[in-house]
Structure 1
């Protein structure tokens, strides 16, 4: 059986919208190279500007 990885050892990316760092998730294993947003909220806000 494989050993558990520590959360600190997982790959990290920066969200393209909010700029916050987010870590690898098992559900993203096959598409990690294509993941750009940390959440559905950021993905939905990708085309909107923050100025009102």
Structure 2
């Protein structure tokens, strides 16, 4: 049953708005490289992010 990964093995990123780490989710499977924000709330507040592109 090597199909499942533990949560600690999932890739993580740091949200540029809240500076908190967030882990990979199944719904981001096809677009993980494009995901920048941990939540919709942070995506809406992105203008407050320091060093945003």
Aligned-CA RMSD value: 1.6
Residue 22 of structure 1 aligns to a residue in which SS?
Answer: strand
Q: Which residue of 2 aligns with 1:39?
A: 39
| Cα deviation, residue 48, structure 1 | 3.8
TM-score normalised according to structure 1 size: 0.84
Aligned residues: 49
| Cα deviation, residue 2, structure 1 | 5.4
Structure 2 residue runs without a partner (length 5+): none
Q: Which residue of 2 aligns with 1:29?
A: 29
Q: Whole-Å Cα distance in 1 between the matches of residues 16 and 29 of structure 2?
A: 19
TM-score normalised according to structure 2 size: 0.83
Q: Which residue of 2 aligns with 1:12?
A: 12
Point out the structure with max Rg over C-alpha.
Answer: 1
- State the 4+ residue runs in structure 1 displaced beyond 2 angstroms: none
